[in-house]
Amino acid sequence: MELLKEKILAEGQYLGNGILKVDSFMNHQIDPVLMKKMGEELAGKFRQAAATRILTAESSGIAPALIAGIELGIPVVYARKNQPITMKRDPFREKSESHTHKRAVELVVSTEYLSASDRVLIIDDFLATARTILSLVKLIEQSGATLVGIGSVIEKEFEGGRAKLAELKVPIVSLACIKSFDNNKINF
């Protein structure tokens, strides 16, 4: 997606150690026009998957997932990092290692919002090591639902996440694929 690549080049900052800061338009402040276009693009790529729910992780995956959900006319469920008192007991739980927070987090989804009859599309902000996405896959497996596809806004190809997801045998779509960060330069 050229518009996204242009935005990454104009506003993204490589911080070293594989970290790309995109806070100005996606991870802290949201560019709603860009987010709408990205959500529409992801929805278009997965329309034929006949998903009944979108699953993402709190918090940066919510915005693109929400727009895709609007476009597809399906609910968006996000895995929370803390279980609120309002959530039913015994939710689906899975640990995930956060690359940017440098610690393990527990992802939690209520059993009310994922069931064996669901066809689930995962949408997340980044596909890098695939740790978060694989944790979301395990939540889907716990529910008995069927995974129908994986979408990401930005993929860091050099971190090998796509290869780790290949055995899932579902379509994987990324809107912008970064091949490398050579000499602090972003290479698509």
| Residue 73, pLDDT score | 98
Lowest mean per-residue pLDDT among 9-18, 31-40, 66-75, 114-123: 9-18
Give the model's confidence band at 101: pLDDT under 50 very low, under 70 low, under 90 confident, else very high. low
- What pTM, to 2 d.p., does this model score? 0.95
| Count of structural domains within the chain | 1
Long-range contacts formed by 103-108: CB under 8 A, 24+ apart: 105/81, 106/81, 107/57, 107/58, 107/79, 107/80, 107/81, 107/132, 107/135, 107/136, 107/139, 108/79, 108/80, 108/81, 108/82, 108/83
Give the model's confidence band at 85: pLDDT under 50 very low, under 70 low, under 90 confident, else very high. confident
Find the CATH number of the domain harbouring 112.
3.40.50.2020
User: Which residue range(s) make up the domain with 44?
Assistant: 2-187
- Rounded Cα distance between 150 and 147, Å, is 8
Res. 100: pLDDT tops 70: no
